[in-house]
Homo-oligomer: A and B are copies of this chain.
Amino acid sequence: MSLKQLCRLTALVLGACCTRAETPAPPRPFGLVVHGGAGVILRADLPAALEAEYRTALQAALDAGYTVLADGGTALDAVLATVCRLEDSPLYNAGRGAVLNADGVCELDAAIMDGRTITAGAIAGVRHIRNPIVLARDVMEKSPHVLLSGAGAEQFATSLGYTLVPNEYFQTERRKAQLQQARDAEAKGRPAAGMPGGLRRQPAAGALVLDERKFGTVGCVALDRAGNLAAGTSTGGMTNKKFGRVGDSPIIGAGTYANNRTCAVSATGHGEYFIRAVVAYDIAARMEYLHRPLAAAAAETIARVGALGGTGGVIALDARGNIAMPFNTPGMYRGCKLSTGEDRIELFEPGR
């Protein structure tokens, strides 16, 4: 018998032994993590009834994605189901209920990434797409591109048969009041107290600085039964934003990233810092190159954002079902639902 034949025989015997093994493999973990934005989210500021509404909407979004996963669906489909729920909710700054820009219009950004194929799709500055995350996925799957912007992205949607919705669909009274507050504050040369994500003029340089009260982006990361990861993020950006500003949400590597080799990440926060720190990919790189566990990698990256002066947080999930939800703001709307039974929503800092 040649060495080659011996090797083949050994492989056959081993294969047969494995097939006959009685011990079943432990079930693969699956589940998802969601966020609804980070910022100054304090128990004292949030009436109980409103807090209940935020929790209910987050739970419904988690449940929608979890059902997809439990039924054997893909991480990508779960991310889509969860993010669509949050886009449809008027409470969160994505889709319906998004913040208004300086022209009183909602301008929406979104991105999605498939960790299995390392493909991605994103859109920036659309005004008439009911569920931006759905269009981001179509960019990924039905175009050769990753990022489409503005009216061009909407032309692409139309070419696929989308019905455009009027911008008024997204606009809520609450966001109109916030824009007015931001405008009033800007006129007075100071940020409005309690005004989420407004802009004010920086007296020294004549430039604009942000009032970092709250970043209402939504996002989801999911792991399916097949071991595939996906990430998605959707946002209306910042109240009173000007000049076609694009934040980190639709930037692959900054606000959104997924790769089965490492992790899936969705970020929320002061987007400019998250772009400069290449946040989502930095977490993956720390896992791949430094062999850091997910939680340590995510915490280190958020610390780096903090060192630059930025605030916000991320949700992250690896292929083993480990999760991380670090943030350096007083709160972050967040939650997870996992096949291990873990199922929770949190809004404030731990212990507060």
List residues of chain A with CB under 8 Å of any chain B CB. 118-120, 124-125, 142-153, 155-156, 199, 202, 205-210, 242-247, 251-254, 257, 271-272, 275-278, 281-282, 285-286, 289-290, 308
Contact = CB atoms under 8 A, between A and B. Distances in A.
Contacts of A289: 285-286, 289-290
A70 B150 CA distance: 42
A149 B120 contact: no
A97 B199 CA distance: 37
B118 A272 contact: no
B144 A209 contact: yes
Given A119-B276, A251-B251, A276-B252, A243 B143 contact: yes
A290 B278 CA distance: 17
A235 to B, nearest CB: 14
Contact of A149 (B144, B207, B246, B253): B246
A276 B146 contact: yes
Contacts of A282: 281, 285
Given A243-B155, A254-B252, A278-B257, A272 B144 contact: yes
Per CB-CB distance, the 4 closest pairs between chain A and chain B, nearest first, are A152-B244, A289-B289, A285-B285, A253-B278
A89 B71 CA distance: 58
Given A149-B149, A155-B242, 8 more contacts: A124-B246, A143-B243, A144-B202, A145-B272, A148-B244, A151-B244, A155-B244, A286-B289
A156 B242 contact: yes
A146 B156 CA distance: 26
Nearest to A125: B149
A75 to B, nearest CB: 17
A119 B275 CA distance: 10
Contact of A242 (B152, B253, B285): B152
A226 to B, nearest CB: 21
Nearest to A158: B243
A150 B257 CA distance: 25
Contact of A142 (B124, B142, B206, B281): B206
B146 A149 contact: no
Nearest to A253: B278
A275 B155 contact: no
A207 B120 contact: no
17 contacts: A120-B275, A124-B149, A124-B246, A143-B208, A144-B272, A147-B247, A149-B245, A151-B244, A153-B243, A155-B242, A155-B243, A253-B253, A253-B278, A257-B278, A278-B281, A285-B285, A289-B289
A277 to B, nearest CB: 8
Contacts of A144: 199, 202, 207-210, 272
A90 to B, nearest CB: 25
Contacts of A245: 145, 147-149, 152
Contacts of A199: 144
Contacts of A209: 144
Given A118-B308, A243-B156, A147 B276 contact: no
A267 to B, nearest CB: 13
Contacts of A125: 149-150, 152
